[in-house]
């Protein structure tokens, strides 16, 4: 059997297994690379070369940058500022499109989905009216900048590797803006009629007023005082420092009045005018400090421990603000089911709560921080790094992978994100698919399989011209992209498109841009992209709901790919 026939056989098996969706996509992708080795199509070095490709490094680094923006609160801060303004549907689409252009579809949808669902609840809408537009607008937004999706990087590198001029950082916006504008118009006109009105099984908690809730729950505004301190002081047992304003030397403390007065007298502290209770909410959750409620689990080693407000936990970096039992009592000896309110830095909360099996967090610190914490210095540093990365990418001063890697490293070095958080922020599934499917793309090209498909496509369009070639490539890519990962689709179709363009004697750039647009048009099924799957549960969607709104969007993407692309990239 010829190498081309073997490549077709492996490719066919991969498509079937992806569409079958019974095996992990990582196993299917890796299995394709191994199959190409055992069939003799590629050598051992070639099947592993994909994981060292600059595209993989670039994508991994972008995931870290995206995670840093999320962890530092930049994403939530931007969302909170914009979500309360204007038409909820329009604001949702504009915000996710802009964010996607910078940090990828999946990162933007994951970051904004909780806020979008809550906004729907607050405005008395069904989340199903906003969740799918969120995902679809993200796909359109992915075509605004080079960083919007791995597909953009794949076609850019393909252009460079085949002697064509690579696409610039902002060049995608030439078609991205029409795609986004058309997407917004279609959704604004037809979403109410084409989307179902359903209530999801679960709605994420609204933590935007979390500090106020905790103050009322634990009565933290009782016996609260503001003290002016000229030096660092350590409070005695019975007094809890609820918050600090380091720049002003102000302490917000809580405890019995007599104890606080004695403490102030011993350390020459001045009482500031009341009411101090009005400052508690702002001191409870800050850019650097956060709180977490934890419940003592039934077999926790903490059961029987002595506890009181103001004590420091065993780790040394968390403070107990309050203790409460289900009946409202304030116990001093812990029992199963007791609730502790802890305060510390966000990093300390993440580290200790995740590592302690004896307590269960009511709300994860990361979720609280994303919704309730104001933007701090870490967020400002993250924005600065992002701007620097965009400048490097836009000017081409360094290769794409180098620019993204510098940004990811800077996020860690500047303390915006920790290494464990960086690792958790990487979508390993995406990296494995890209790294393992690059050999499939190479095999299709080297074995002659791409030429065979391309020749058939060229014969099919005959003398109808290059626009019909674009239509054929768009349909081929878009149909395949509804069944399997659109990133994998781009890797499969790219060598075929290059071969077809070469056979017809036309420029590679419009053909590759058509591939990128068609791969981004993943609207008809929930399995086409992780973003589509993310909104399925919160929106209460069924499989068939996607195609109702997705089909007119797919048609619009086809119009742009066939008619608009040649205007900017000549054949």
Return the H-helix or E-strand segment holding 216.
Answer: helix 210-218
* Nearest residue to 500 via CA among 475, 466, 537, 548: 466
| Domain boundary, last residue among 337, 362, 387 | 362
Of 174-178, 208-212, 386-390, 478-482, the range with the lowest mean pLDDT is: 208-212
Helix, strand counts (H, E) of the chain: 27, 8
| Domain boundary, last residue among 283, 313, 335 | 283
> Do residues 315 and 268 both lie within one domain?
no
| Domain boundary, last residue among 344, 362, 380 | 362
Helix axes 486-504, 508-520, angle to 10 degrees: 160
> Do residues 68 and 191 both lie within one domain?
yes
State yes or no: pLDDT of 246 exceeds 60: no
Domain-embedded: residue 385: no
| pLDDT for res 201 | 64
pLDDT digits (tens, 9 = 90+) for 408-457: 999 999 988 889 889 988 888 888 888 888 888 888 888 888 888 888 88
pTM over 0.95: no
What gap in Å lies between CA 228 and CA 248, rounded to an integer? Answer: 8
pLDDT digits (tens, 9 = 90+) for 69-109: 888 878 777 767 666 666 888 988 998 999 899 878 887 88
SS3 per residue for 181-214:
HHHHHHHHHHHHHHCCCCCCCCCCCCCCCHHHHH
> Do residues 109 and 239 both lie within one domain?
no
What gap in Å lies between CA 252 and CA 223, rounded to an integer? Answer: 10
CATH number at residue 339: 3.30.70
Strands 270-271 and 224-228: antiparallel
Total structural domains in the chain? 3
Q: Is 84 helix (H, G, I), strand (E, B) or coil?
A: coil
């Amino acid at each position: 059997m010829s190498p081309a026939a073997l490549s077709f056989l492996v490719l066919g098996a991969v498509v079937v297994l992806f569409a079958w969706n019974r095996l992990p996509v990582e196993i299917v992708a890796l299995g394709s690379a191994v199959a190409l080795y055992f069939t003799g199509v590629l050598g051992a070095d070639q099947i592993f070369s994909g994981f060292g490709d600059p595209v993989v490094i670039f994508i991994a680094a972008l995931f870290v940058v995206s995670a840093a923006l999320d962890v530092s609160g930049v994403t939530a801060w931007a969302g909170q500022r914009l979500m309360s303004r204007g038409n909820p549907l329009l604001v949702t689409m504009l915000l996710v499109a802009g964010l996607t252009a910078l940090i990828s579809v999946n990162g933007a949808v994951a970051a904004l989905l909780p806020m979008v669902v809550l906004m729907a609840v607050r405005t008395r809408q069904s989340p199903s009216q906003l969740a799918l537009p969120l995902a679809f607008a993200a796909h359109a937004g992915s075509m605004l900048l080079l960083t919007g999706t791995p597909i953009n990087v794949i076609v850019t590198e393909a252009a460079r590797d085949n002697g064509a001029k690579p696409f610039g950082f902002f060049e995608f916006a030439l078609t991205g803006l029409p795609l986004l504008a058309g997407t917004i118009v279609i959704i604004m006109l037809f979403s109410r009629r084409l989307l179902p009105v359903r209530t999801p099984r679960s709605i994420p908690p609204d933590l935007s007023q979390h500090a106020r809730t905790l103050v009322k729950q634990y009565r933290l505004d009782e016996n609260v005082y503001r003290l002016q301190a000229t030096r660092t002081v350590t409070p005695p047992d019975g007094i809890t420092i609820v918050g600090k304003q380091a720049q002003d030397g102000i302490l917000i403390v809580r405890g019995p009045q007599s104890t606080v007065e004695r403490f102030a007298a011993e350390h020459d502290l001045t009482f500031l005018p009341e009411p101090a209770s009005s400052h508690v909410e702002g001191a409870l959750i800050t850019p650097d400090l956060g709180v977490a409620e934890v419940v003592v689990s039934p077999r926790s080693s903490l059961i029987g421990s002595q506890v009181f407000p103001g004590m420091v936990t065993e780790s040394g970096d968390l403070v107990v603000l309050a203790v409460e039992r289900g009946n409202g009592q304030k116990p001093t000896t812990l029992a199963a089911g007791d609730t502790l309110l802890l305060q510390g830095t966000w990093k300390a909360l993440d580290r200790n709560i995740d590592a302690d099996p004896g307590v269960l967090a009511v709300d994860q610190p990361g979720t609280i921080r994303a919704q309730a914490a104001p933007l701090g210095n870490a967020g400002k540093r993250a924005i600065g790094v992002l701007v620097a990365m965009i400048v490097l990418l836009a000017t081409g001063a360094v290769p794409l992978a180098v620019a993204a890697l510098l940004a990811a490293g800077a996020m860690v070095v500047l303390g915006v994100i920790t290494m464990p958080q960086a690792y958790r922020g990487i979508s390993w599934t995406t990296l494995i698919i890209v790294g393992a499917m690059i050999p499939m793309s190479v095999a299709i090209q080297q074995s002659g399989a791409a030429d065979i498909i391309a020749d058939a496509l060229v014969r099919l369009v005959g003398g109808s011209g290059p626009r019909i070639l674009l239509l054929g490539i768009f349909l081929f890519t878009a149909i395949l992209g509804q069944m399997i990962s659109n990133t994998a689709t781009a890797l499969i179709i790219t060598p075929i498109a290059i071969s077809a363009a070469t056979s017809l004697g036309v420029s590679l750039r419009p053909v590759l841009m058509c591939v990128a647009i068609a791969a981004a048009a993943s609207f008809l099924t929930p399995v086409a992209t992780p973003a589509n799957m993310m909104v399925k549960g919160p929106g209460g969607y069924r499989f068939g709901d996607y195609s109702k709104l997705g089909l007119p969007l797919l048609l619009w993407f086809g119009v742009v790919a066939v008619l608009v692309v040649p205007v900017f990239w000549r054949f």
